[in-house]
Amino acid sequence: MEGTTLAPIAQCPDCKRLNEVLSRVGDRWSVLIVASLSQYGVLRFNELKRNLGISQRMLSLTLRELERDGLVSRTYHPTIPPKVEYALTPLGESFREPVKALAMWGLENLETIDAARATYDAAAEKLPKSA
C-alpha cells in the first residue's frame, strides 16, 4: 500500500484478503473483547457478557470468529456446570497495542466528535424533508 491507495492487484496479491482481516479486527465487538481480555486476562463467557453488555448470540459469534482467526483461545473445563474460559493467544496479544491506540484516540476525541455530530444534526434539521 502506498499512502491510502491500494497497490494494483498484481503488485499486492493479498490486498483483497485485507478486507476480511480488517472487517474482523475493526469490528466493534472484536475490539471490545480484545480490550477486555487484555485488561483482565482469562475471562469466562458470562463475565465477558456482563462486562460488555453484549447479547449472548453476538458474543458467541464474535468469540467463534476471533478463535477461528487465532486471536482468542477457548478452554473448556468439563465441570458441573461446564466452565469455558477465553484468553488472548500470542497473536491476540500482538493486537493489544493497536486496540489501545484506537481506544485512546476515541477517548481523546470524544468532545470533538460530539461537537461535530451536534453541528451536523443542527444543519440536517434545517434541510427540507423529502418525501
Please state the three-class secondary structure of 75-107 as a single string: EEECCCCCEEEEEECHHHHHCHHHHHHHHHHHH
Asked if 92 and 72 touch (Cβ cutoff 8 Å), the reply is yes
In a domain, 10, yes or no: no
Predicted structure pTM score: 0.76
Residues above pLDDT 90, as percent of the chain: 59
In a domain, 29, yes or no: yes
Dist. CA 109–CA 51, nearest whole Å? 23
In a domain, 97, yes or no: yes
CATH number at residue 113: 1.10.10.10
In a domain, 3, yes or no: no
Predicted pLDDT of residue 1: 46
Average pLDDT across the chain, whole number: 87
Cell numbers for 34:
480484545
Weakest mean pLDDT among 9-18, 47-56, 63-72: 9-18
Cell numbers for 88:
488472548
Asked if 7 and 15 touch (Cβ cutoff 8 Å), the reply is yes
pLDDT tens-digit readout, 55-83: 999 999 999 999 999 999 999 999 998 89
Give the chain's domain count.
Answer: 1
- Helix 15-25 to helix 28-40 angle (10° resolution) is 60
Predicted pLDDT of residue 21: 80
pLDDT band at residue 106, thresholds of 50, 70 and 90?
Answer: confident
Predicted pLDDT of residue 5: 60
In a domain, 5, yes or no: no
Q: Which domain holds residue 49?
A: 15-126
In a domain, 7, yes or no: no
